[in-house]
Amino acid sequence: MSIADFSGRLRPDACPGALQVHEAADGPLARVRLPGGAISPARLRELAACAAGLSSDVIELTSRANVQVRGLRSPAAFAERIAAAGLLPSEAHERVRNIVASPLGGRTGPGLLDPQPLAEALDRALCARPRLAGLPGRFLFAVDEGSGDMLALGADVTFFDGRLLLAGVDAGLAVGADAAAGLMIAAAEAFLDERAEGDQGAWRIAELDNGPARIATRLHTTFPRDRAADGRSAPHPDAGPTPDAEAPRAPVVRDTAPRAGRVEQRDGRVALEVVVPLGRLSAAQARAIAAAAELNGPAGTSDAPDPGGATGAAGPEGTAGVPGPGGATGVLVRLTPWRTVVLLDLPPAAVGRAARVLEAAGLVTDPASPWAGVSACTGRPGCAKSLADVREDARRWVATLDGPPATPVHWAGCERRCGLPRGRVVQMVATGDGYQERHQ
């Protein structure tokens, strides 16, 4: 059983944030939420400066496309700088802003929706509801571009292909992208209602008995639909779900094994996916990512503050990931739930230069690298529960490989198996007598 599998607990959720830090074995750890995984180069540079000046110079990528900084010497100073950078728009809601989104943003393959505007609208609506500050820190929203890349994450509330999924279940709720944020917020409020009626230990919809059906019933009751003259559903002012004549269907989950390299976009530009070995960045590597992303932008604009920023209140123009005045783009960097980094909208001529900047910093852009598909928990010395220095052991193992493993491999220091990726994974679990190999 992984740490994410425990249910029926009585203790309150203790997920760390930028204000409520976790006292790890190597010092205080703060987690910064990045809705949609989006961060501008300027904000990434500030995060790197904080890691270099206030911590042990370790930035970890999380399985929810957030970041955490380890070994903080002054958590208060860190929180102050993060807030000044615009990465803490609500102190009350900072631990519940858990929103993942398709990192390629509707630019490739079957995905057509750019999820970032919806992720930002959802974030604004979430922060505007005082009651939702009471959501557990494990509660997760997802915005899928239509490719199915977010479905394996098991989010509590997912927008996918014009439908709302609850704990991965299609409960017959159809909604357009323009109304999805309101309905997703309503689903979170319905979860709190159900939780208050006797399931106070539940952190996730899946932990409620028949949770998806109960929440869907509340949503249909809360948002009745007016009927148009022809008998079809007419949009309700509160943007509720459309009664769906289709039978609920099982969405197709896309394989999202970590990979490195270039991805051709529909518009002729290129996305570059970067593997971060074991999901851990130094400040210098974070600065290298920012520099590589800025190879896309017009000269003189890369360090300008984002209009509205990568998170929080974005305006109608300059919205993260959407061209603003003069064609400048607000967000070029997206973190992924599989602990890679994607640089979007690179001109083809800039890809080689970007790759050289990244590779020189110890990051991986070669799809044949053995680092693709290898992950690990914190291990010793950062985690007191770990039975081994799993990161060092994983590095030694990767050094013996000629290419990426056929199946992703996760190294874990104990039975909790923190950071275990979703899907098919070989698990190397430390025990009191070496490692035990397991398959799922």
Model pLDDT, residue 305:
34
Model pLDDT, residue 4:
40
Q: Give the rounded distance of the alpha carbon of 266 from its chain centre.
A: 24
Model pLDDT, residue 251:
59
Model pLDDT, residue 240:
53
Model pLDDT, residue 303:
37
Model pLDDT, residue 231:
31
Q: Give the rounded distance of the alpha carbon of 117 from its chain centre.
A: 15
Encode pLDDT of 61-100 as tens digits: 999 999 999 999 999 999 999 999 999 999 999 999 999 9
Q: What would the 3-class secondary structure string for the chain be?
A: CCHHHCCCCCCCCCCCCCCCCEEECCEEEEEECCHHHEECHHHHHHHHHHHHHHCCCCEEECCCCCEEECCCCCHHHHHHHHHHCCCCCCCCCCCCCCEEECCCCCCCCCCCCCCHHHHHHHHHHHHCCHHHHHCCCCCCEEEECCCCCCHHHCCCEEEECCEEEECCEEEEEECCHHHHHHHHHHHHHHHHHHHHCCCCCCCCHHHCCCHHHHHHHHHHHHCCCEECCCCCEECCCCCCCEECCCCCCCCCCCCCCCCCEEEECCCCCEEEEEECHHHEECHHHHHHHHHHHCCCCCCCCCCCCCCCCCCCCCCCCCCCCCECHHHCECCCEEECCCCEEEEEEECHHHHHHHHHHHHHCCCECCCCCCCCCEEECCCCCCCCCCCCCHHHHHHHHHCCCCCCCCCCEEEECCCCCCCCCCCCCEEEEEECCEEEEEEC
Q: What is the pTM of this model?
A: 0.85
Model pLDDT, residue 250:
53
Model pLDDT, residue 200:
81
Give me the residues of the chain with pLDDT under 50, please.
1-8, 226-239, 243, 245-248, 298-330
Model pLDDT, residue 1:
30
Model pLDDT, residue 440:
75
Model pLDDT, residue 14:
77
Model pLDDT, residue 423:
82
Model pLDDT, residue 264:
95
